[in-house]
């Protein structure tokens, strides 16, 4: 077993894709004739595509057959991927590369634990895929966050005990998933919303080397 591992969520932690998810869901809501707000979009963070569509249809009080539901799932994703195609490295969130480089230089195993089925594609688009020793995403899990499955699979592949894993998350369900896995949770974003995290930071610019060193020493 290796000593300590680091697992990153993708959307909202590494890249700000929430805005593209929002635009794609809004396009569908517009087409169906109801309003989809930024407040609604908050409910979608960390939530699977299928669950998001279920919530969207509830918001709009829209009934759908299974075939129609499946068609809308595809339509939303095609729309979302059109935004992703235009993504550039400049859309990596501030100081994410600094943290990844620090971890890599110090030989810590690095994993991705995301609900997205587009995770690999996005990491390739922004040229970060080489940092990751394992990518566990929406294609590999049967249980969604807050279930700890996504992070536990990553820890197993990284060969790190769960309690020695540090998870970076921006969603309530993601922080819960990390806590349910008995991992160290670091909330990235609003500390009030992510109050269940072990540590809170607005973004990675606030995570300095002394903090990381202290955290690593406390786990070693
Ligand atoms: C999560 C996002 O990371 O992935 C959610 O926070 C999204 O908003 C989910 O619905 C699934 O993503 P995708 O790319 O498979 O539709
Ligand atoms: Mg997220």
For residue 26, the CA-to-ligand 2 centroid distance in Å is 19
Q: What percent of the chain has pLDDT over 90?
A: 98
Same domain, 28 and 11: no
Same domain, 72 and 133: no
For residue 1, pLDDT over 60 is answered with no
Domain boundary among 36, 66, 84: 84
pLDDT value of residue 42: 85
Domain boundary among 55, 84, 113: 84
Question: CA of 214: how far to CAs of 13, 66, 78, 122, 180, in Å?
Answer: 22, 51, 44, 31, 23
Same domain, 128 and 146: yes
Domain boundary among 84, 110, 136: 84
* CATH number of 69's domain: 1.10.150.240
Average pLDDT of span 35-40: 94
Average pLDDT of span 169-196: 96
Question: CA of 143: how far to CAs of 104, 118, 124, 193, 200, in Å?
Answer: 29, 17, 25, 23, 26
Same domain, 170 and 182: yes
Q: Per residue in 52-104, pLDDT tens? A: 999 999 999 999 999 999 999 999 999 999 999 999 999 999 999 999 999 99
pLDDT value of residue 118: 98
Tokens of 141: 């899990």
Same domain, 146 and 41: no
Same domain, 206 and 98: yes
The SS3 call for residue 188 is strand
- What are the residues whose beta carbons fall under 8 Å from the beta carbon of 179, sequence distance 6 or more? 185, 196, 197, 198
Residues with CB under 5 A from ligand 2 (ion): 9, 11-12, 170-171
Distance separating alpha carbons of residues 41 and 58, to the nearest angstrom: 13
For residue 46, the CA-to-ligand 2 centroid distance in Å is 5
- Ligand 1 pocket mutation, candidates 116, 122, 168, criterion most atoms within 8 A of CB: 116
Same domain, 22 and 11: no
Distance separating alpha carbons of residues 218 and 164, to the nearest angstrom: 10
For residue 115, the CA-to-ligand 1 centroid distance in Å is 5
Domain that includes residue 23, residue range: 18-84
- Whether residue 120 contacts residue 140, with contact meaning beta carbons closer than 8 Å, is answered with no
* CATH number of 151's domain: 3.40.50.1000
Phi-psi region of 218 (alpha: psi -120 to 50; beta: other; left: phi over 0): alpha
Same domain, 102 and 148: yes
Distance separating alpha carbons of residues 25 and 51, to the nearest angstrom: 12
Between the ranges 1-10, 24-33, 43-52, where is the mean pLDDT highest? Answer: 24-33
Same domain, 57 and 102: no
> Structurally, how many domains does the chain consist of?
2
Which residue bears the tokens 């921006």?
Answer: 170
Please report which helix (H) or strand (E) contains residue 58, including its range: helix 49-60
For residue 2, pLDDT over 90 is answered with no
Average pLDDT of span 116-124: 97
For residue 48, the CA-to-ligand 1 centroid distance in Å is 5
- Whether residue 8 contacts residue 170, with contact meaning beta carbons closer than 8 Å, is answered with no
Same domain, 166 and 66: no
Average pLDDT, the chain: 96
- Ligand 1 pocket mutation, candidates 7, 9, 10, 11, criterion most atoms within 8 A of CB: 11
Tokens of 164: 């020695």
Q: How confident is the model at residue 20 (pLDDT cuts 50, 70, 90)?
A: very high
| Ligand 1, CB cutoff 6 Å, lining residues | 10-11, 21, 44-49, 52, 77, 114-118, 138, 171
Annotated catalytic residues are 9, 11
- Whether residue 138 contacts residue 119, with contact meaning beta carbons closer than 8 Å, is answered with yes
């Amino acid at each position: 077993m290796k000593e300590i591992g680091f697992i990153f969520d993708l959307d909202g932690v590494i890249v700000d894709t929430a805005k593209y998810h929002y635009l794609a869901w809004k396009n569908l809501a517009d087409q169906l004739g109801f309003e989809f707000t930024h407040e609604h979009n908050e409910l979608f963070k960390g939530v699977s595509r299928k669950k998001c569509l279920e919530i969207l249809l509830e918001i709009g009080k829209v009934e759908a057959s299974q075939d129609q539901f499946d068609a809308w799932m595809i339509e939303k994703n095609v729309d979302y991927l059109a935004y992703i195609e235009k993504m550039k490295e400049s859309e990596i969130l501030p100081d994410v590369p600094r943290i990844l480089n620090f971890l890599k230089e110090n030989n810590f195993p690095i994993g991705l634990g995301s609900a997205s089925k587009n995770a690999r594609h996005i990491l390739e688009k922004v040229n970060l895929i080489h940092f990751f020793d394992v990518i566990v995403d929406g294609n590999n899990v049967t249980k969604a966050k807050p279930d700890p499955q996504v992070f536990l699979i990553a820890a197993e592949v990284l060969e790190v005990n769960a309690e020695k894993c540090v998870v970076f998350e921006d969603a309530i369900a993601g922080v819960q998933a990390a806590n349910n896995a008995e991992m160290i949770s670091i909330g990235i974003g609003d500390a009030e919303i992510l109050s269940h995290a072990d540590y809170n930071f607005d973004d990675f610019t606030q995570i300095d080397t002394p903090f990381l060193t202290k955290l690593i020493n406390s786990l070693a």
